[in-house]
Amino acid sequence: MSLAPLTSNALAVLEKRYLKRDLQGNIIETPEELFWRVAKNIASADQIYDPDVDLSSIEEDFFHLMASLDFLPNSPTLMNAGRELQQLSACFVLPVGDSMEEIFDAVKHMALIQKSGGGTGFSFSRLRPKNDVVGSTKGVSSGPVSFMSVFDTATETIKQGGTRRGANMGILRVDHPDILEFIQCKDKDHRFSNFNISVAATDEFMEAVGKGKEYPLRNPRTKEIVGYLPAREVFEKMVYYAWKNGDPGIIFIDRINRDNPTPQLGEIESTNPCGEQPLLPYESCNLGSINLSHMAKNGGIDWGKLGSVTERAVHFLDNVIDMNRYTLPQIEEMTKGNRKIGLGVMGFADLLIQLGIPYNHPMAFELGERIMAFIQERGREASYRLALKKGSFPNFERSTLKGKWEAMRNATITTIAPAGTISIIAGTSSGIEPLFALVFVRHVLDGKRLLEINPFFEQVAKAEGFYSESLMKKILETGSLKDLPEVPEKVKRLFVTAHEISPEDHIRMQASFQKYTDNAVSKTVNFPHEATVDDVAKVYLLAYELGCKGVTIYRDRSKEEQVLYKGIATKEEERMEAHKMERRPRARGDVMHGSTRKIKTGCGNLYVTVNEDEEGRLFEIFNQIGKAGGCAASQSEAIGRLVSLALRSGIEATEIVRQLKGISCHMPVWSQEGRILSCSDAIAKAIEWHLREKQRAKVEVKQERRDHHRSIPPPLIEEKISLSIKWNPILQRGACPECGGPLLFEEGCVKCLCGYSDCG
């Protein structure tokens, strides 16, 4: 069998991220060769258990499984199997202990994992609360939120030097004394931009919410109750900030632990960055997705094919565990001890369209439940047969599966992952999400913009006789079919998009799949911009009632700047073009005020002058390198001119810092202010220092005023900083930083159709 046809988007993603390259960056692998590389590598695990096994048939089977696009493993497996790195897992959870040594061990381990392309989840619930005693110094603790900043900064640095963006999940139990600070820690878009955050809600808390009672807060250091909070007020605060900007999400931690297959080994505290994979500390998991859009046959489902793909996919994912190269020995021990796999689905929305079932119809919920029950049953049977041949997972005797099964190869079988990038390769809809758009603009490398139409919609439009280029452009602008009289009502009902589906129906679909999923379900509940806080609260409560293990919501245009919403492609581009036409650098006045800072660099002493205009806005910088000349001096001057042009054109100074900070050269040096990686890094830090001094001066002035007017409540420093610092350029521009195309928000991540994701 040869490779199934690939879309232009699939080819672009494969070429950009997956295919092997030589030292000069030239692609030296075809997509077909990629699938053979992965198939051969993963099949070789069978030789560990049977040295005489015929690998050729297994290799061919695994190749067909992927080359047909019926199943694809998670991205690290496609990227790294059969290559030097050989890191094949996407999901990791690391413990964060309540000591400085344990905290920074976790930071180090996170760096190693993210360097290899993995995402990391953390619970900060073990850390003692803010202002609690620190025994070694007799001082006070700064609390878990402050230490999250260390992880966030480290991830930012790793992203700048790596090929795959790092991503984190940060979780805090709702009964931790610092829970209110945690809930609002992402109130400003620039804070914790490398974290998704979720509150771990207990049954005790949810019951108190229902009854309108208080619930206890417990110091994790002493395990003692240290206070009480009104549950409904805390719940309302969680809901408000989720409504405001999408964070925090919520996970139902007691429900997750009731499904923990190895409770004797410890409690599950956290999940991976997108929330679908709860794991014990030091566990990792490898995921894969079945392409449901390939399972339609004669107006129904080809159950025989689905069963066959399920069984082969379980074999494949189990082999990945043995072929994986683990970053830490603790991770290898935990992962091989439980052998968890996460088999899920993609293309569900496309399957429904082929069957003529609207996404928000009761039949769709029933079908989702039936499909997942079938996959779970066949997956467990496949795992059982593997266990009879290769042995059960080592912790089987201590698991809750003992007594239900004679043997079992894997502690968990099923997970519904986002499948964002692999669904692009497969040319299908992502995970169990509905269609986000029927028509969109694809940005190609030469700057051209091509109109792309959902293939099923295009097929129906032509068959029904209402297809036209002008109509497709109209759909692109409006983002909906509902106000287009030329589109038949039955087509409008079938091709319903994410924002036309009620939040309650989003949750019902998630619950349908969760009922027969071992781990959890990645799903974003989309809200229209005009949704109320109470609308979000109802969905959170419904999710708990229906048995979901967590909720991620996103209200349209709730971020500081919109990522993508219905009909935005054309209008947003027009607005941006108009803005570009209006932008002109500000003229320079005769007098400027600023500061000059001397910084030691590998090229010599660098003097950076930062000037402000009469309104106190950063206006320009001048750089001069001591006695150096030639290339170093010219590059320094060039950076200064470009930075000045950007400042005069209205670009945020903090965004300039973000671009320059962390750039390395071959001669880093240490200074009184820390390590200086290059002249670019020094310039960024000089601007940063200027901003910090300016902010400190403002705070001192305001403090003097507060001392004079004691009746005025002191504003939060974070609120003042937010006026000038906006760290997330993706949200500001509303365009992909790699291809310039429109972005969307799904499963807690900002994504692009080109394959870019801020979650890796």
By annotation, the residues acting in catalysis are 272, 274, 276
Q: Which of 590-619 are b and which e, b meaning 16 or more Cβ less than 10 Å from the residue's Cβ?
A: eeeebeebebbbbbeebebbbbbbeeeebb
Task: Return d(Cα 346, Cα 70) in angstroms, integer.
Answer: 10
Task: Return d(Cα 422, Cα 17) in angstroms, integer.
Answer: 11
Residue listed under structure tokens 């632990």: 257
Structure tokens at 469: 């280029």
Q: Which residues contact 60 (CB under 8 A, 6 or more apart)?
A: 39
Structure tokens at 382: 């496949």
**Dihedral of the CA atoms 348, 354, 360, 363 (nearest 10)?**
-100
Task: List, in sequence order, the alpha helices (H) in 99-202.
Answer: 100-115, 144-161, 179-183
Give the chain's end-to-end CA distance (angstroms, integer): 31
Cα angle for residues 253, 255, 261 (degrees, 5° grid)? 100
Q: Which residues contact 535 (CB under 8 A, 6 or more apart)?
A: 243, 503, 527
Residue listed under structure tokens 């280029």: 469
Structure tokens at 23: 């030292």
Task: Return d(Cα 336, Cα 266) in angstroms, integer.
Answer: 16
Task: Return d(Cα 190, Cα 731) in angstroms, integer.
Answer: 10
Q: Which residues contact 268 (CB under 8 A, 6 or more apart)?
A: 253, 256, 257, 260, 278, 279, 280
Whats the size of the chain, residue-wise?
Answer: 760
Q: By CB neighbour count within 10 A (0-12 exposed, 13-18 middle, 19+ buried), where does 64 fall?
A: middle
CB neighbourhood size of 482 (10 A) = 13
Tell me how far the alpha carbon of residue 160 is from its chain's centroid. 17
State the chain's maximal CA–CA distance in angstroms. 86
Strands (E), 576-694: 593-601, 604-612, 618-625, 669-671, 674-676
Structure tokens at 142: 């700064």
Task: Return d(Cα 43, Cα 59) in angstroms, integer.
Answer: 5
Q: Which DSSP string do the residues of 225-256 spell out, in sequence order?
A: EEEEEEHHHHHHHHHHHHHHHS--EEEEHHHH
Residue listed under structure tokens 């020094």: 682
Q: Answer for the pair 173, 138: CB distance below 8 angstroms, yes or no.
A: no
Q: Which of 413-425 are b and which e, b meaning 16 or more Cβ less than 10 Å from the residue's Cβ?
A: bbbbbbbbbbbbb
Cα angle for residues 393, 395, 401 (degrees, 5° grid)? 80
Backbone conformation region of residue 749, classed left if phi is above 0, alpha if psi is from -120 to 50, else beta: beta
Q: Answer for the pair 597, 575: CB distance below 8 angstroms, yes or no.
A: no
Q: Answer for the pair 368, 434: CB distance below 8 angstroms, yes or no.
A: no
- Containing 366, the helix (H) or strand (E) segment is helix 362-390
Task: Return d(Cα 711, Cα 717) in angstroms, integer.
Answer: 18
CB neighbourhood size of 296 (10 A) = 18
